[in-house]
Structure 1
Amino acid sequence: MQENHLYEYAVIRIVPKVEREEFINVGVGIYSKSTRFINMRYYLNKEKLKAICPDCDLEEIEKNLDSFKRICKGAKNAGPIGQMDAASRFRWLTATRSSVIQTSKTHPGFSKDLQKTLDCLFEELVL
């Protein structure tokens, strides 16, 4: 029987105009300390984003989301933050910030299959 793993997740959001507090969910990041699992998925719906923010720089937003992905995976080209341990990378990615890309507060859960849980959260909260 598979073991249940405690995990944390956060929703990744695009907040085009921080002062308006409007956002679009574009991704989900997940982390489990016991398995050192960390991963994220994102999808940038460009039409939806352009509808609420016609002057936003889609290319720049996509570059930043790709950076989030590289940091999450601990890629060699993710800079010094990408070289930190999984817990530190997740904490950095989910830190409160006042920028175009933000995350929700973290939420806990239990899962027997962390990748499947990430996929389910992504489907439910983003798509």
Structure 2
Amino acid sequence: MPRVERGECINAGVLVYCRAKSFVAALTHLDEARLTALDPRADVAGVRAALRAVEGVCAGGDAAGQAAGDDAGRRFRWLIAPRSTVVQPGPVHTGLTEDPAAEAGRLLDLLVR
């Protein structure tokens, strides 16, 4: 949300969670031109860093920081919690898939790119 006070937002990624497969992943794509069209003073590097942090929490390991020891479901719930920052989660939607990793890519192409 480049201009939170005006309610402007752009999609910059997708987050997919599958409890049955203990899978959580985030894929991101930042359209810098669109971001700076909404707010020419937007901190593009800061937004990119926040998006990388979301990807890192999903990946687990050292990149997840304090969340590294948490299971996929707990990391997902932490990531979808409302925040008052520029990078905010959108609404959660449910669905079914046999391949959550492929679904994440499909959703990124459909909703973000």
**Fold shared, TM-score > 0.5 on shorter chain:** yes
2:20 is paired with a residue whose SS is coil
Q: Is the 8 A contact 2:16 2:104 kept in 1?
A: yes
Out of 18, 26, 47, the residue aligned to residue 12 of structure 2 is 26
Distance 1:77 1:40 in 2: 13
Q: Is the 8 A contact 1:16 1:100 kept in 2?
A: yes
Give ranges in structure 1 of 5+ residues lacking alignment.
1-14
Higher relative CO (CA 8 A, sep ≥ 6), structure 1 or 2? 1
Across the aligned residues of Structure 1 and Structure 2, the Cα RMSD in angstroms comes to 1.0
Cα displacement string for residues 46-68 of structure 1 (whole angstroms, at most 9, x for unaligned residues)? 11111111001111111111111
1:115 is paired with a residue whose SS is helix
1:104 Cα deviation from its structure 2 partner? 1.1
Identity of aligned residues (%): 35
Out of 26, 29, 35, the residue aligned to residue 21 of structure 2 is 35
Q: Which residue in the other structure is 1:17 paired with?
A: 3
Aligned length: 113
What stretches of structure 1 move > 2 A for 4+ residues in a row? Answer: none
Q: Is the 8 A contact 1:76 1:83 kept in 2?
A: no
1:83 Cα deviation from its structure 2 partner? 2.7
**CA shift in 2, pair 1:116/1:77, >3 Å:** closer
TM-score, normalising length: structure 1: 0.84
Cα displacement string for residues 31-90 of structure 1 (whole angstroms, at most 9, x for unaligned residues)? 011110111110111111111110011111111111111101113132112331111100
Give ranges in structure 2 of 5+ residues lacking alignment.
none
Q: Which residue in the other structure is 1:45 paired with?
A: 31
1:29 Cα deviation from its structure 2 partner? 0.4
Q: Is the 8 A contact 2:56 2:64 kept in 1?
A: yes
Higher helix proportion, which one?
Answer: 2
